[in-house]
């Protein structure tokens, strides 16, 4: 079975976590960058998650609900991360 991506970075900014993965492929396989619309030789995948209180387990957990996932240039994906207010 083919592995989709390799996790290369995990960053926490406030109540958000960003997991950046290298796909190993370019726009020929995944299409243009979601952010700038241009072709990419190396496409990255970024998953955004938010911290929330989980009343079932009585602890904080991460969820992707209400968050965005994108594919594209690493630089473009890093630029769209939410800033701490």
**Residue 41 placed within a domain:** yes
Q: What is the mean pLDDT of the chain?
A: 92
pLDDT in tens, 24-56: 999 999 999 999 999 999 999 999 999 999 999
Q: How far apart are CA 60 and CA 63, in angstroms?
A: 10
Q: What is the pTM of this model?
A: 0.86
**Confidence tier at 1 by pLDDT (50, 70, 90):** very low
Number of domains in the chain: 1
**Residue 17 placed within a domain:** yes
CB atoms under 10 Å from CB of 65, counted, come to 7
* pLDDT recorded at residue 29: 95
**Residue 63 placed within a domain:** yes
**Residue 57 placed within a domain:** yes
- Supply the range of the domain harboring residue 29: 6-79
**Residue 84 placed within a domain:** no
């Amino acid at each position: 079975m083919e592995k989709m991506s390799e996790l290369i970075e995990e960053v926490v900014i406030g109540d958000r976590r960003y997991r950046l993965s290298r796909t190993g492929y370019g726009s020929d396989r995944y299409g243009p960058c979601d952010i700038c619309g241009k072709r990419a030789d190396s496409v990255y995948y970024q998953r955004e998650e938010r911290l929330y209180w989980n009343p079932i387990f009585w602890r904080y957990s991460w969820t992707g609900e209400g968050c965005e996932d994108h594919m594209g240039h690493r630089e473009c994906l890093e630029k769209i991360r939410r800033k701490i207010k």
